[in-house]
Amino acid sequence: MGNLAFYVFIAVLVVGFLSSAIRILREYERGVVFTLGRFTRVTGPGFIIIIPVIQQMVRTDLRTFVEDVPTQDVISRDNVSVRVNAVIYYRIVEPQNAILNVENYMEATSQLAQTTLRSVLGKHELDEMLAERDKLNSDIQEILDAQTDAWGIKVANVEIKHVDIDESMIRAIAKQAEAERLRRAKIINAEGEQQAAEKLVEAGRILAGDPRAMQLRYFSALQDIASEKTNTIVFPLPMDLMDTIRRRD
């Protein structure tokens, strides 16, 4: 009976040792191994053996993380208050830096994204936030990527999702847009009048330079008037024809 208990005890120790020593890392995982508190290596994926008590391993995930940036209150350069939220995509490229250089890389990246979002958007006017979103995304991504490099983080993309404006500001923007449309319509109408006037002046010069052209225009006008059956046409005789009749008399 005593030998059986001993064997059971040994079996439990072996099982405990193996469960503490054996690690299996998936393809997208890496292990940061510490020996007596010192960084030793980055290992994985696959079957990993560590020395219990002497060594410890911290798992890291190399897949892309999707982080929602909470809604931020931003004052634009033209003093408009807006609420902006975004999403960032990042992944670990240096597991040892992500563990050694920052306490919580996920929280640190999220906080840095919030402050960077406010800082970058605060340097732009509201129209730029609405019309140049791709450029703002690129600017924020570059800043985040540079600042998280020391943490072994690669920021792949930043997307601004919503730019929310107060209702009063929406009405003001609508009025501004309507005024802009009216201004453009008036400019187009004025340009059309100017072009028409220039063409009329040019036509007048051509007609004045050749009397035959004036006669042709005269007959063309009579034809247009004659197409209406309800019109009564008074047909004036040309002055040169009257002079010819007088000379014959």
pLDDT reading at 16 higher than 80 = no
pTM of the predicted structure, to 2 decimals = 0.64
pLDDT for the residue numbered 208: 66
Beta carbons within 10 angstroms of residue 167's beta carbon: 7
pLDDT for the residue numbered 246: 56
pLDDT for the residue numbered 148: 93
Residue-wise pLDDT tens digits, 23-47: 888 999 999 999 998 999 999 888 8
How confident is the model over 7-28, as a mean pLDDT? 75
Residue written as tokens 């983080």? 153
State both tokens at 110.
């999220």
Cβ atoms 56, 122 nearer than 8 A: no
**Minimal CA–CA distance to 82: which of 188, 161, 187, 11?**
161
pLDDT reading at 22 higher than 90 = no
First to last CA, the chain: 161
Cβ atoms 140, 72 nearer than 8 A: no
Measured in residues, the chain has a length of 249
Please state the φ and ψ torsions of residue 62, each to the nearest 5 degrees. Answer: -90, 0
Q: Is 42 exposed, middle or buried (0-12, 13-18, 19+ CB in 10 A)?
A: middle
Mean pLDDT of the chain: 79
- Least confident range of 71-80, 96-105, 203-212: 203-212
- Least confident range of 101-110, 173-182, 203-212: 203-212
Cβ atoms 157, 141 nearer than 8 A: yes
pLDDT for the residue numbered 179: 75
Residue-wise pLDDT tens digits, 55-88: 889 999 999 999 998 888 888 887 888 888 899 9
d(CA 1, CA 246): 157
